[in-house]
Each structure stands twice: as structure tokens, then as C-alpha cells.
Amino acid sequence: MNIKYIFNSLANADDKTLERVQSVLQGEGHNLDSKQPLLLTKRQVQKLLNISRTTLWRMIKAGILTVIEIYPGMERISSDCIERLLNKHREGESK
């Protein structure tokens, strides 16, 4: 994954997405009482990260994101997986 692409995606993200990313970067993590779903559809992940379907597919194929198969044909990505990705990115920035 190209770090420049991640920065460009964040630069073009909407306010709600930026607020969510900021809360993750501040270490707030997932709150089970929140309205944020624990499992996200691929489309939701695309929207959250502001990435294309092709980029999402490549991230899954590269092992950056892990897909959970609920039953054949129904796949989800955990919000924890997204948070780990963003935390890993944050750790890389601080070095």
C-alpha cells in the first residue's frame, strides 16, 4: 500500500470520516455501545477509507484487510481490522 495514496485518501475524506479516523488515531478504539457496526460491508469500508473497489480488493489480496465470510457470498470486514490498519499507519508516522 502506497503511503502517499493513504494521505491523498485522507485529504479527500468527508468530515465524518476524518472524525472517526482522528478518534482511532487518538487511541479511543471501538466502543461497543456506539452506533458504529462491528462488521462492515466492502462498500462501507470503501466509503470509510475513501478508496476504490479495486484498491479494496488489492488490500484484501495483500492481507492488509481480512475478510470474514458470514456465509457463502456474504463477506464483511471487522471495524477492528480498520482500526489496526490506521493504528499501524500512525505508528509508522511517529518513527
Structural domain count, the chain: 1
CATH of the domain at 75: 1.10.10
Residue 46: per-residue pLDDT: 94
Q: What is the pLDDT of residue 67?
A: 92
Set of cell numbers at residue 74: 456474504
Judge contact between 42 and 77, C-beta under 8 A.
yes
Closest of 8, 68, 62 to residue 38, by C-alpha? 68
Residues 78 and 67: their CA atoms lie apart, in Å, by 8
**Segment 76-88 mean pLDDT:** 88
Summarised one tens digit per residue, pLDDT across range 22-79 is: 776 666 655 544 566 788 999 999 998 999 999 999 999 999 999 998 888 889 998 8
Q: What is the mean pLDDT of residues 72-87?
A: 88
Residue 4 has pLDDT above 80, yes or no: no
pLDDT of residue 38: 82
Q: What is the CA radius of gyration of the chain?
A: 13
Give the structural domain span for 74: 3-94
